[in-house]
Structure 1
Amino acid sequence: MSEQTGSGGLNEYIQHHLQQNTIEVFGGAFHIDTWAVSLVLGLIFIGWFAFFARKATAGVPSKGQAFVELILEFIDGQVKDSFHGDRRSITPLALTIFMWVVLMNGMDLLPLDLPGWLVKTTAGAEVAHHTYFRWVPTADLNTTLGLSVVVFFLILYHSVKAKGGFGFGKELLTAPFHAHGTGAKIALAPANLGLNVIEYLVKPVSLAMRLFGNMYGGELVFMLIAGLLGGGLLMFVPGVLFNTAWALFHILIVLLQAFIFMILTVVYIAGAYESH
């Protein structure tokens, strides 16, 4: 489904679909689209799993319960392979990250022009032309950075929990370059601290940029294909074929990126319990 690209061509079409509904909060732009879609999808995930948790039976499960159990067993198995401590809090965290990111990524598979079509149908073409709505939260860097910052603080929490405040601070100053003697330890402390700070900061940044880059790139490809669909009858059939092929391939990206974000979070937390 695609609307015509209009007089401005493909460039105007893409720019239109990259616009966010924003309000100013503390001097910065607050992306309403990202916040609203993320919140709704998070509530859907909670309601979905809570519903089947309450209706769970020891006998033959329903298809819905079996599907939820399959997901939970898969996530728990991945956590068990990567994290060898008490995973009672880690598995729910991994499940939440995986399902929430899958749902947010999956919004990219919905028809690109559906919001505009709904507004056009109810309020007219002129209103639709000036209506913006981006419904792929993970194609917004604010979302992926927000998730990664939470993971960063969780890594710090588990590091302090495993080693204590003194032990964690000592590790920052004495690893990875270990030294014998007070003078050598003091001399190497700045280098150790700098390397450890870089290591800790790289983790959330790489998590955020990887997820954002893949989803933003996928979103742009859908926009380019939608431009073909709006380019007349000659391009309609190739556009449909390209759109279908990319959508099928993008399902793999949606799932894979959610899995990578989840498993790296677990690996990073597991690493917090290890000594350098």
Structure 2
Amino acid sequence: MSDGSSHGSQGQEAHGNYIEHHITNWTFGDGFWAINLDTMIMSILSGLLIILLGKYIQKGITEGVPSGLQNGMEMIVEFVNKNVTDNFPGHNPIIAPMALTVFLWIFLMNFFDIIPVDLIPGMVESLGADNFRAVATADLNVPMGMAIVVFGTVVFYSLKVKGSEFLMEFVTHPFGKWLFPVNFIMKLVEELAKPLSLGLRLFGNLFAGELIYLLIAFMVPWWLHWVGGLPWTIFHVLVIVLQAFIFMVLTIVYMAMAVTSEH
């Protein structure tokens, strides 16, 4: 019994060490100023790939019926423009490019989650890295960083378009000026909920997806990974697209709220 118990505990320890290793970032520095190098590399790489893809498609643009990558990109642009038209009143030249950037960037960072969990980390760690996480959106810093940038833009446009009316919402909305302490607290919570809802939703879904892949990779022999991983991958493709879509739509909606009067 003791041998079996010891063997089982060793297996659990190995399991825990495997998962811990894969969810630990490659970090430079300590404390608050530490930088997750793997997150920086993958997020910047994703952004560069989008820019290069755009440049490539731009050079090959042809008149008439588009084909290949041009057709796919045009479908994405039309899809984003339709969501902007449906959710944003009037016209603002920053909204569609912002929404398109958010959608493509998040989708590509999410996409690395369906690549075999040991492939990219194994390649980078063989070059000397201590750890490497390939999914930047599974690191809380990226979703919250993007959410804070969106929130800052929302506040900027709220002040630019509505001015003092936006500040008065903290005093008079929703119960009138005589209950301004309650109004202030409720409005503050409402505003702070915007970046939290954006960032934590994206982080939670991608971190959970990463953990499931790690469980499959550890519990199933490598030559059967496709059996356990394929059904989850098919489902997870929907998740990574949906999370990019939700972040994009909420960005448009929050920007619409910034330029629309409460009353």
Q: Do the structures match in fold with TM over 0.5? A: yes
For the Cα contact (< 8 Å) 1:229–1:240, is it kept in 2?
Answer: no
Share of identical aligned residues, percent? 40
**Residues 1:194 and 2:193 aligned together:** no
The one of 58, 64, 72 aligned to 1:67: 72
- Partner Cα distance (1:7, 1:226) in 2: 14
The one of 245, 260, 263 aligned to 1:259: 245
1:160 paired residue number: 159
2:171 paired residue number: 173
- Partner Cα distance (1:253, 1:27) in 2: 31
For the Cα contact (< 8 Å) 1:6–1:13, is it kept in 2?
Answer: no
Of structures 1 and 2, the one scoring higher in RCO (CA 8 A, sep 6+) is 1
- Partner Cα distance (2:123, 2:259) in 1: 51
Letter of the structure 1 residue corresponding to residue 166 of structure 2? F
CA drift of 1:117 comes to: 3.9
Letter of the structure 2 residue corresponding to residue 248 of structure 1? I
Q: How does 1:89-128 map to 2 (within 5 A)?
A: 89-118=94-123
- Partner Cα distance (1:73, 1:93) in 2: 14
**Residues 1:38 and 2:38 aligned together:** no
Once the two structures are superposed, residues 117-173 of structure 1 have per-residue CA deviations (whole angstroms, 9 ceiling, x without a partner) of 4368x66xxx7xx73110101100011110110111111112112212x22212221
Size of the aligned set, in residue pairs, is 253
Letter of the structure 2 residue corresponding to residue 147 of structure 1? M
2:140 paired residue number: 141
2:23 paired residue number: 18
**Residues 1:206 and 2:205 aligned together:** no
RMSD of aligned Cα (Å): 2.2
- Alpha-carbon spacing, 1:151–1:116, altered in 2? closer, same or farther (3 Å): closer
2:236 paired residue number: 250
- Alpha-carbon spacing, 1:6–1:48, altered in 2? closer, same or farther (3 Å): farther
Letter of the structure 1 residue corresponding to residue 142 of structure 2? T
Once the two structures are superposed, residues 38-88 of structure 1 have per-residue CA deviations (whole angstroms, 9 ceiling, x without a partner) of 001001111211332343233232311111111100110111111121142
CA drift of 1:25 comes to: 6.7
For the Cα contact (< 8 Å) 2:120–2:134, is it kept in 1?
Answer: no
- Partner Cα distance (1:188, 1:161) in 2: 26
Letter of the structure 1 residue corresponding to residue 141 of structure 2? N
For the Cα contact (< 8 Å) 1:107–1:136, is it kept in 2?
Answer: yes
Letter of the structure 2 residue corresponding to residue 11 of structure 1? G
- Partner Cα distance (2:55, 2:93) in 1: 17
CA drift of 1:27 comes to: 4.1
Letter of the structure 1 residue corresponding to residue 98 of structure 2? L
SS at 1:56 equivalent: coil
TM-score by length of 2: 0.89
- Alpha-carbon spacing, 1:247–1:6, altered in 2? closer, same or farther (3 Å): same
Letter of the structure 2 residue corresponding to residue 118 of structure 1? M
- Partner Cα distance (2:230, 2:134) in 1: 20
Letter of the structure 2 residue corresponding to residue 77 of structure 1? K
- Alpha-carbon spacing, 1:88–1:57, altered in 2? closer, same or farther (3 Å): farther
